Amino acid sequence: MYTQEMLDSVKKVEATRKERLGMEPRRMTAEEKETLLNRYHPDYRQENFSVLKIGPNKGDKVPDELAVLLQANSRVKDLDIDLTKIDYDTDVLIIGGGGAGASAAIEADEAGAKVMMVTKLRIGDANTMMAEGGIQAADKENDSPAIHYLDALGGGHYANDPKLLHKLVTEGPSAVKWLNDLGVMFDKAADGTMITTHGGGTSRKRMHAAKDYSGAEIMRVLRDEVINRGIPVVDFTSAVELILDEEGRAAGAVLMNMETGEYLVARAKTVIIATGGAGRLHYQGFPTSNHYGATADGLILGYRVGAELVYADTIQYHPTGVAFPEQIFGALVTEKVRSLGAMLVNADGEAFMHPLETRDVCAASIIRECKDRKKGVSTVEGSGVWLDTPMIDMIHGEGTIENRLPGMFRMYEKYDIDMRKIPILVYPTLHYQNGGLKINQEGLTDVENLYAAGEVVGGIHGRNRLMGNSLLDIIVFGRNAGKNAAKKSKTIKPGKLTLSHVEKFAKEMEDAGIKTDCVSPKLLPKYTHRKDE
């Protein structure tokens, strides 16, 4: 499978492996990291960002592709939607079918509210399903929520919202317990001790995992629980516009059947946006590790009704996306591979950095190695560096890769690459939206009765998220939003429904001189290849 150039380079990697096994590469100083990020991290490439002309974040910069969608036409702009004809009537409407949405649904149901989930694909078609590495929680003797707090804060460049971060770390252990009690199979030792590892930027081993199917295991259990509870899940149906009441409070959404194109009206007392991330917008032309529906829909829905965004200019590029083979280009190679000891090695066989720096530092360092130092290995799509996977079984014993990284092993095996014996090629891939809708501790956005949870939210992780804090975040803040939205719904009397904000937004666009044919939310990426396009 590998080219001759790759195989020649593999020999150099093998030649240095024995020596590298006994050493730990030096960690960078704070100054070195800052210089590196400034020069090589995609977030710092100003030419790929636009300043917003309208809306709550007017004057702020966001990635070009997001700016276009945030300042685009509503899908219902010229449609005559009859808001008196209610197709679905519920207390809590949850938009999104991933881990945050499912957690919210379970808790809202538990609190006695009438709940409904709507998702444009199937429940579980979400980034949660693909989170391989694990979930952080400070539950070991040598650890504490305070140490977890400091790790996440430093990793996030001290920009994390302190109150949200406090909530994340203090509710971490109870989130893991909640999942365990639902039947999630965490990796445990015979005496019940959770098997935990490091992630990039952690100072304690607090990464809990379910092999390398951590997110999938969590998602399939949550999905099963949602179904067991009889919570209605309207699938293949997207929310295309929020509906407000005459007081400007969130009161439902216009839905669209993805298969028939039919529009439907859902009325709700409270609404939770849990639509996830934006990888499928392919910022700066990067490939992505995200699922098919990650198109920033929730940011668009929220922004149009006046919800503010925070850190929408910070994106996480996962350092280790697949660089080769091209068929799975951009797919995720879990950080757990590095947690288990695999080093990042350049074309000459040199370990050019500590493999467990934070993700932004790691990604920038790989980009430097390939673009500037020219020590990458050429691939069809560009270049990549080696992730020296054979080290794992050498450190932890034979069978470790098959046992603890079965998903990765299978993915490469399909292309005749045996990662136990030969290293794999990686390059950064667009992975996570650090920023998003601003919320308070209750999970409430700037708009009354409009909650948000999961990757669509910004602020918890500052300007860079640590591995394992996202699975944690969707559970902690998903549950939180579900509980609070349910409680609030009991105090709400439905008012008159309106879409007047759509006209208002169109007027703002006109006044700002924005003329575009683009409609948003985007819903799905377009990868078709036809002669007539």
Name the token pair of 9. Answer: 């380079």
Q: What positions carry a catalytic annotation?
A: 318, 338
Q: Is 121 in the site for another protein (CB under 8 A)?
A: yes
Between 54 and 328, whose beta carbon lies closer to another protein? 328
> CA-CA distance, 52 to 414, in Å (whole number)?
44
Give the shortest CB-11-to-another protein separation in angstroms: 26
Give the CA radius of gyration of the chain.
23
Q: Is 327 in the site for another protein (CB under 8 A)?
A: yes
Between 211 and 465, whose beta carbon lies closer to another protein? 211
Residues 181-210 contacting another protein, CB under 8 A: 181-186, 188-194, 198, 203-205
Give me the amino acid identity at 252: G
> CA-CA distance, 25 to 478, in Å (whole number)?
38
Q: Is 30 in the site for another protein (CB under 8 A)?
A: yes
* Per-residue binding letters, 123-142, with another protein (x by CB under 8 A): -xx---xx-x----xxxxxx
Rule CB under 8 A: choose which of 1, 21, 51, 146 binds another protein: 146
Q: Is 79 in the site for another protein (CB under 8 A)?
A: no
Give the number of residues in contact with another protein, rule: CB under 8 A.
88
Between 239 and 411, whose beta carbon lies closer to another protein? 411
Helix, strand, coil content of the chain in percent (nearest 5): 35, 20, 45
Give the shortest CB-222-to-another protein separation in angstroms: 11
Stretch near another protein under the rule CB under 8 A, chosen from 57-65, 70-78, 148-156, 502-510: 148-156
Beta bridge partners of 243: 252
Q: Is 162 in the site for another protein (CB under 8 A)?
A: yes
Between 18 and 529, whose beta carbon lies closer to another protein? 529
* Per-residue binding letters, 218-247, with another protein (x by CB under 8 A): --xx--xx-xx-x-----x-----------
Between 77 and 166, whose beta carbon lies closer to another protein? 166
Q: Is 176 in the site for another protein (CB under 8 A)?
A: yes
- Cβ within 8 Å of residue 2, ≥6 positions away: 10, 324, 417, 422
Q: Is 216 in the site for another protein (CB under 8 A)?
A: yes
Do residues 127 and 455 make contact, with C-beta atoms less than 8 angstroms apart?
yes
Residues 242-281 contacting another protein, CB under 8 A: 258-259
Q: Is 399 in the site for another protein (CB under 8 A)?
A: no
Rule CB under 8 A: choose which of 54, 83, 150, 492 binds another protein: 150
Give me the amino acid identity at 464: N
Between 159 and 506, whose beta carbon lies closer to another protein? 159
b (16+ CB within 10 A) / e for 190-200: eeeebebbbbb
> CA-CA distance, 291 to 130, in Å (whole number)?
8
Q: Is 85 in the site for another protein (CB under 8 A)?
A: no
Give the shortest CB-106-to-another protein separation in angstroms: 11
Q: Is 410 in the site for another protein (CB under 8 A)?
A: yes
* Residue found by looking up tokens 């379910």 in the block: 210
Helices 162-170 and 172-182, packing angle to 10 deg: 40
Please tell me the number of Cα atoms within 13 Å of 430 on its side-chain side.
22
DSSP 28: P
Name the token pair of 254. Answer: 């216009």
Angle at 202 between CA 316 and CA 143, to 5 degrees: 140
Q: Is 84 in the site for another protein (CB under 8 A)?
A: no
